[in-house]
Amino acid sequence: MTAATRLTAAPADTVATIWAPRVLSILRIVIGFLYIWHGTQKFFGFPGTTPAQPLDFMTLRGISAVLETFGGALILVGLFTRPVAFILSGHMAFAYFIAHAPQNFWPILNRGELAIMFCFVYLYLAAAGGGPWSLDAIFRGRPRP
């Protein structure tokens, strides 16, 4: 029996059992990668067309830059995934209610849908963990699938 035959002949719950943790890791990696760029824009003006503005770390913008850059990097590699994701989820909820919600009730009109999506993906990662392809899993000694 070939690998392709085994995959197509496998029951749906077996395929879900095999792929769900891997897709969780892929989601974590992609979200962390995307989140880092929000912080680097604040720190360095990259990527972007405008030069970086001086950053005071005792402002909301400075704190956001640190959380987005370093929190995104920790999420990307899957280190301390649950506590970092919980903090970033709260950061995005705070950002939504401070910056977006006062402009309009509807997220599509106040341009807050990305903050909402980050918030709930991070909340999911706080509950689910980093998946098998993470430094958390390696340090805990879990076998990789």
- Total tally of structural domains belonging to the chain: 1
Residue 47 within any structural domain of the chain: yes
Q: Which of 39-43, 51-55, 88-92, 114-118 has the lowest mean pLDDT?
A: 51-55
Asked, for residue 5, whether it belongs to a domain, the answer is no
144: in domain? no
Band of pLDDT at residue 73, cut at 50, 70 and 90: very high
With a CB cutoff of 8 Å and minimum separation 6, the contacts of 95 are 64, 115
Positive or negative torsion for Cα 131, 132, 135, 138: positive
Asked, for residue 4, whether it belongs to a domain, the answer is no
The pLDDT assigned to 116 comes to 97
Q: Which of 36-45, 69-78, 119-128 has the lowest mean pLDDT?
A: 36-45
pLDDT for 37 equals: 94
Residue 8 lies inside a defined structural domain of this protein: no
pTM: 0.85
Write the CA distances from 81 to 4, 48, 89, 113, integer angstroms: 34, 28, 12, 23
Residue 106 has pLDDT above 60, yes or no: yes
Q: Give the residue numbers spanning the domain of 48.
A: 16-139
Of 51 and 123, more confident: 123
Q: Over pLDDT 70: what percentage of the chain?
A: 88
* Residue 123 placed within a domain: yes
- Would you say residue 114 lies in a domain? yes
**CA–CA gap between residue 90 and residue 64 (Å, rounded):** 12
Structure tokens at 65: 């830059």
Out of 4-13, 89-98, 103-112, 118-127, which region has the weakest mean confidence (pLDDT)?
Answer: 4-13
Residues 71-77: what's their mean pLDDT?
Answer: 98
Residue 145 has pLDDT above 70, yes or no: no
- The answer to whether residue 87 sits within a structural domain is yes
The per-residue pLDDT of the chain, averaged, comes to 89
